[in-house]
Amino acid sequence: MWEDPNTEREDLAIPLEDSGSGVGQVLAILYVAFTSTHDRTILIDEPQSFLHPGAARKLIEILRTEFAQHQFIVTTHSPGIINAADPDAIFVLRQLEDNSARVEKVDMRQASIARGVLAEVGATPADVYGADRILWVEGRTEEDCFPRILRILRRQGLHGVVLKGVINTGDFEGKKADLVVQIYRNLSGGAHLIAPTIGFVFDDECRSDQQKKELNNRAGNLVRFLPCRMYENYLLHPDAIVGVLNDYDPEARVDEARIAGWIEQHRLDKEANRGVPADHSGDVQWIDAAWLLKKLFAELSGARLNYEKTIHSIAMTDWLLANQPERLRELADFIWASLQVQPA
């Protein structure tokens, strides 16, 4: 709501020197746009600097709707600014190996498609914008845990790679598999705003060699499978389970011997071995660890605690990294090798 400045209300007057840098920047931009007596081209450099992301988006929306008579040329590293601006054209400045730079115009139709596809797979431009490469992983848990494992065991960061969980790996099989794989690959190949995909890391899920081959063919030979049934198989350590179960449900009061005995008793259950080849029956590397953990948490907590992968798997990962990190060494090496693939 506009307030008549003639009221000179002291409660509305705040000296500029008492305001943040972002307020001064916003006022300068709005002053130029508001006081211009004719249509003009206005250059704005990094409008998100010193501003809350919400305030930066609101500024762009105001410029786009209230001052549409002007042409604004904006430089930014913010996907939020790009989305709010809904620009007529996007240009990407890329640094080349010889330290020169090249300006590339983004195909707006492809950029629009990319935004739509990202929404379909549960991601946003902010999730992958600015990345050098993308490695798609099984889900949100792996997206959260794999970088932690690399930092602790390999003492390595992602070096520009973004790990992003897919919505449903089951979509990569069946009648829609080819379409789904193409969607993910197009995310990296259609618009210059999206980084190239270097691959997919999925649970093995006891797939046959033929099933793996077919899935990999659909994905352009970019799929790597964990060397066990699923990520949770790396977490089936009684001491890690004790630490998390007792922490989330103090009434459980379980110890390592009880957890070890329970796993030994149930690792041959029919449900735990569904899909497991006969020669691997009962093998803790290949049983359905997610099912086993769900049953274990329910029984040993007296049904007080339901196993949640995105909570308890992450908590067990953190426990292992803090207390027995070497148990995740094989996985760390596997993830690191998956990051070394160079996109075609």
pLDDT in tens, 168-183: 777 777 666 666 666 6
pTM of the model: 0.69
Question: Model confidence at 193, in pLDDT bands (50, 70, 90)?
Answer: low
**pLDDT one-digit tens code per residue, 199-221:** 889 999 999 999 889 888 877 78
Q: By the 8 A CB rule, do 338 and 224 touch?
A: yes
The angle at the Cα of 127, spanning 193 to 82, to the nearest 5 degrees, equals 50
* Alpha-carbon gap, residue 118 to 193, rounded angstroms: 12
Give the residue from 240, 197, 213, 243 showing the smallest Cα distance to 338.
197
- Name the pairing type of β-strands 133-137 and 161-165: parallel
* pLDDT at residue 305 in the model: 93
**pLDDT one-digit tens code per residue, 110-128:** 566 566 656 655 666 666 6
**pLDDT one-digit tens code per residue, 39-71:** 999 999 888 887 888 888 888 888 988 898 999
- Name the pairing type of β-strands 101-105 and 91-95: antiparallel
Residue 47 contacts by C-beta under 8 Å, 6 or more apart in sequence? 25, 29, 56, 59, 60, 74, 76, 81
* Alpha-carbon gap, residue 47 to 171, rounded angstroms: 40
Mean pLDDT lowest among 126-135, 153-162, 275-284: 126-135
* pLDDT at residue 41 in the model: 92
CA torsion 276-280-285-286 (nearest 10°) is 0
* Alpha-carbon gap, residue 258 to 260, rounded angstroms: 6
